[in-house]
Structure 1
Amino acid sequence: MADISTRRTIAISATSLVVALIVLGLKGLAWQITGSIALYSDALESIVNVVTALIALAAVVLAAKPADAALPYGYHKAEYFSAVILGVMIIIAALLIFREAWLGYLEPALPQAPVEGLTVSMVATAINAVWAYVLIRHGRQAMSPALEADGKHLFTDVLSTLGVVAGLVLVYLTGWAVFDAVLAGLVALNILWSGWTVIRDSVGGLMDVAVPTDTQQVIREVISSNAEGAIEAHDIRTRQAGRMTFIDFHLVVPGTMSVSDAHTICDGIEAKLREAVEPAQITIHVEPEEKAKHSGIVVV
């Protein structure tokens, strides 16, 4: 059965889909009211949000599955795959917006009903801003790349929408219809950068990147302070896969130490590591003292 954090992650991911549908409806309405290409680009990005919310939901549900014979290390990396797909879709949306912006630049038209359209757009933006905060905050707490990526994308959506609204106010005040298309192009550039960032961060996870430096330091301190009776720990390696942290290292013990005593030391280290880094999967390879490298962590 999934733990409380995992269930909450799945619930938040499901809520994201509902929020994305509501925001899509509002932004689509703003575009229909005004006919603005810039607001069209904003609405198109919301379609991407709906699809990616579906992908993120599927990913977190899959990542929550326990390890089995087919995937003995678990399904944690499923979230990184979803984040890569999210990044690709964001880039496709940006290219579609570039196309509309170019057509609008060739045949500029002044948007209609400014107050009504911008009001609806700002309501949608306020919803996105609140939900982006929720996603980023919980994504980091639960170590969920899919939710954090979704939250970051929503935040860039918020910033781009604010820029669009400010620009459209200028369009209405000056009558520069062509600036509507220029705004859409700027939104597309912002979305393009967002897509690249999501893909870059996700590829790092797929490549078994090490945990952050501060977490590595915590791991080393825990090993050092809970390995009494051992000689040293070396070849410490870490990697992050979704919420799960993988830790493995070699523990050198006196050659005369019994297997039972060495096992007791390992159990103590594992317990303390799981308290400090949760959740974690730990592998310790016990070696006799002639295997000491006099590097890594020397136990005193």
Structure 2
Amino acid sequence: MQLPLPQSNKSIALCSLAVSVVALGLKYAAYALSGSVALYSDAVETIINVVSAIGGLWALSVAARPADHNHTYGHYKAEYLSAVAEGSLVLVTAFVIGREAVEGLLHPHPVSASYLGILLNAAATVVNLIWGLTLVHAGRARRSPALQAGGQHVLSDVWTGVGLVAGLLLIPLTGWMWLDAALAGLIALNVLRVGWEMMRESIAGLMDEAPAPETLDDIRDIIATNGRGAIEAHDIRTRIVGAVTFLEFHLVVPGSMTVEEAHEICDRIEAGLRSKMGDTLVHIHVEPDNMAKHEGIVFWPRPATESASR
């Protein structure tokens, strides 16, 4: 299940902040009713969700700014900075929760497994599930690292919530007081995993890591489909920064082709890329036929001028 979303990423971030505050209220109430260290750990993690939502709102606001004389390629990487900061906060949260778990294992105390508290935590879990799926879907559709990171973080809470509800229901049945602290320890490990994945993906974006092979294949297909009249395209390099694709390559054309004809081919390729890839900044270096490397994308059928010379 997914919720209908506002048009702007900034509005989505505001909704995310509101959802995080609601989930925090539910989880803190659940902890207050039970005194459970596991529910306390879950509430602490949700505080980080609120802080992360504020950071995501800032990052999306900065990323939406147009290019200026100090940032001629735009401000898109602000989203990656936000995701790295969020991942760092998640890692810190994992260690805080882990410390509470160790303390609970060393000094276990009775837990009032209030069914109302468990119900409140379950309600927060359902809220997180719906909103987390919505954020991840929106982040992928809009190619927004900040929204995807926020969605993954929220979804990590879902598995935590499911485990907590199941575990806390077992405590009164088994009498295992240590189970509360053990659940907190599992939460810490899950939070640690999510934080590491968020930081790894965001740092890869900051380092201009090449996109997935499937994306590169799509780009090559678009160039090949729209490059009729050219001889070949080589030295293709691309990187994706948030919602924008940066692409550059060399386009070899017949030496007898006019500048206007070569420009028309470039326009056709750029239009094809933007129609399939969305916001794309393309730099094409046009070269004469004697610069051909006989690699990359070789267009077929070849231009008539080349066929006649053979």
- Pair in the same fold by TM > 0.5: yes
2:8 aligned counterpart, secondary structure: helix
Q: Structure 1 residues 32, 6: CA separation in 2 closer, same or farther (over 3 Å shift)? A: closer
**1:44-83 counterparts in 2 under 5 A?**
44-83=44-83
* Cross-structure match for 1:126: 126
- Contact 1:87–1:195 (CA under 8 A) maintained in structure 2: yes
Q: 1:212 Cα deviation (Å)?
A: 2.2
Deviates more, 1:286-295 or 1:206-215: 206-215
Listed one character per residue, the Cα deviations across residues 59-98 of structure 1 (whole Å, up to 9, x for unaligned) are 1111111111111111111111111111110010111111
* Cross-structure match for 1:231: 231
* Cross-structure match for 2:297: 297
> Partners of 1:197 and 1:218 in 2: how far apart?
26
**Count of residues paired in the alignment:** 296
Listed one character per residue, the Cα deviations across residues 88-134 of structure 1 (whole Å, up to 9, x for unaligned) are 10010111111111221222112115211101111111111110011
Deviates more, 1:282-291 or 1:6-15: 6-15
- Contact 2:113–2:168 (CA under 8 A) maintained in structure 1: no
One-letter amino acid of the counterpart of residue 171, structure 1: I
* Cross-structure match for 1:159: 159
Q: 1:215 Cα deviation (Å)?
A: 2.1
1:18 aligned counterpart, secondary structure: helix
Q: Structure 1 residues 255, 6: CA separation in 2 closer, same or farther (over 3 Å shift)? A: farther
- Contact 2:21–2:50 (CA under 8 A) maintained in structure 1: yes
- Contact 1:144–1:243 (CA under 8 A) maintained in structure 2: yes
> Partners of 2:140 and 2:185 in 1: how far apart?
31
1:114 matches 2:111: no
Deviates more, 1:100-109 or 1:244-253: 100-109
Structure 2: runs of 5 or more not aligned: 301-310
* Cross-structure match for 1:221: 221
1:294 aligned counterpart, secondary structure: coil
> Partners of 1:42 and 1:182 in 2: how far apart?
13
One-letter amino acid of the counterpart of residue 72, structure 2: P
Listed one character per residue, the Cα deviations across residues 191-246 of structure 1 (whole Å, up to 9, x for unaligned) are 01110010111111111122222222221122112222211100011111000011
One-letter amino acid of the counterpart of residue 195, structure 2: G
Task: Give the fraction of aligned pairs with identical amino acids, expressed as a percent.
Answer: 49
* Cross-structure match for 2:261: 261
One-letter amino acid of the counterpart of residue 103, structure 1: E
> Partners of 1:176 and 1:113 in 2: how far apart?
12
- Contact 1:29–1:120 (CA under 8 A) maintained in structure 2: yes
Listed one character per residue, the Cα deviations across residues 223-277 of structure 1 (whole Å, up to 9, x for unaligned) are 1122222111000111110000111100011122222221111111111111111
- Contact 1:211–1:245 (CA under 8 A) maintained in structure 2: no
* Cross-structure match for 1:196: 196
* Cross-structure match for 1:288: 288
1:266 aligned counterpart, secondary structure: helix
> Partners of 1:71 and 1:18 in 2: how far apart?
32
> Partners of 2:173 and 2:8 in 1: how far apart?
46
* Cross-structure match for 1:185: 185
- Contact 2:113–2:171 (CA under 8 A) maintained in structure 1: no
* Cross-structure match for 1:140: 140
> Partners of 2:265 and 2:158 in 1: how far apart?
51
- Contact 2:235–2:296 (CA under 8 A) maintained in structure 1: yes
Q: Structure 1 residues 18, 223: CA separation in 2 closer, same or farther (over 3 Å shift)? A: same
**4+ long deviations beyond 4 Å:** none
> Partners of 2:179 and 2:92 in 1: how far apart?
23
* Cross-structure match for 2:272: 272
1:281 aligned counterpart, secondary structure: strand
TM-score (norm. length: structure 2): 0.93
Q: 1:290 Cα deviation (Å)?
A: 1.1
